[in-house]
Amino acid sequence: MNLSKILKNAFLIILASLVLTACATKKTSTTGQIQGDVYTGTDSVKYLASGVPDRVFFGTNETVLTTASRETLRKQAAWLRKNSDINVVLEGHADERGTREYNLALGERRANSAKDYLMTYGISSDRISVLSYGKERPVDSGSSPLAWSKNRRSVTVKAN
């Protein structure tokens, strides 16, 4: 085992690892709109009123609210308090990577998470109904992690 051989191997290894790390960094740059598997972008977001986003997003198979989601829902609650005659329907959705019926249940659970949070901010349950579309109404028809993350959502819709 001579020195030149060791050096040659070392060089090859360094080169290989550089290539790998390069790939890794490339990956992260295109998914800047996803953080911790939850969509953080604003592409598909609509607004109930100025500064009040109409939807919150979830991680894969998740139904818990992120900090960002809670912030959005607080804004929605405030807006609902101000407009006490408006009722809403919370529509829960899932991405396509799951079986149809389970996704219906998952969507309902997500919408219900949002509803519960709104209720803790004083919105009466009479004003909120919950509905699930499972994977039937994606906003993004693509089959990529970004598209899927946009589809995992609970959307607040004016009912009247």
Partner 1 sequence: MNRNFAISFGLHTLLVIITAMSLPFLAKKPIDLPPIISVELIQITEKTNIPFAPKAKKIIEKVKEKEKKLVSEQAPPKKIKKQKPNTVPLPDKKIEKIKKIKDEKQNPEKVETEIKQISEFEKKELFDTNSIAALIDKSKTESAETNKKLDKVTQDQDKEMDFGGLTLSEEDALKAQIFGCWSIPLGLPFNEDLLVRIKLQLKPDGSIIKTEILDHARMNKPGQAFYKVLAESALRAIKLCQPLRVPSKGYERWKDMQLNFDAREMLEG
Partner 2 sequence: MLFRYLFILLVLLPIKAFALIEVDITRGNLNPLPVAVSPLSIDNKSKENFKKILKHDNLGSEISIIVENNLRQSGLFNPLNKEAFLQEPDIANLKPRFEDWNLIKAQALVTGKVTFIDEKLRVEFRLWDVLAGKEMMALAFTTVPSNWRRVGHIITDKVYERLTGEKGYFDTRIIYIAEEGPKTNRIKKLAIMDQDGFNNKFLTLGNELVLTPRFSPTNQMVTYLSYFRNLPRVYLLDIETGMQEVVGDFPGMTFAPRFSPDGKKIIMSFAKDGNSDIYTMDLENRIVERITNHPSIDTSPSYSPDGKGITFNSDRSGYQQIYVMESNGKNVKRISFGNGLYGTPVWSPRGDLIAFTKLHKGKFYIGVMRTDGSGERLLTENFYQEAPSWSPNGRVLIFYRETKTNSKGEGFSAKLWSIDLTGYNEKMVETETDASDPSWSSLLGN
Residues that bind partner 1 (CB under 8 A): 1, 5-7, 9-10, 13-14, 17
Shortest reach from residue 21's CB to partner 2, in Å: 24
Q: Which is nearer to partner 1, 17 or 120 (CB)?
A: 17
141 interacts with partner 2 by CB under 8 A: yes
DSSP β-bridge partners for residue 128:
88
8 interacts with partner 2 by CB under 8 A: no
Question: Pick from partner 1, partner 2, none: which does 72 bind, CB < 5 to 8 A by kind?
Answer: none
Using alpha carbons, select from 160, 158, 157, 151 the residue that is nearest to residue 57.
Answer: 151
d(CA 131, CA 90): 6
Question: Pick from partner 2, partner 1, none: which does 62 bind, CB < 5 to 8 A by kind?
Answer: none
Asked if 99 and 51 count as a contact pair (C-beta separation under 8 A), the reply is: no
d(CA 1, CA 134): 62
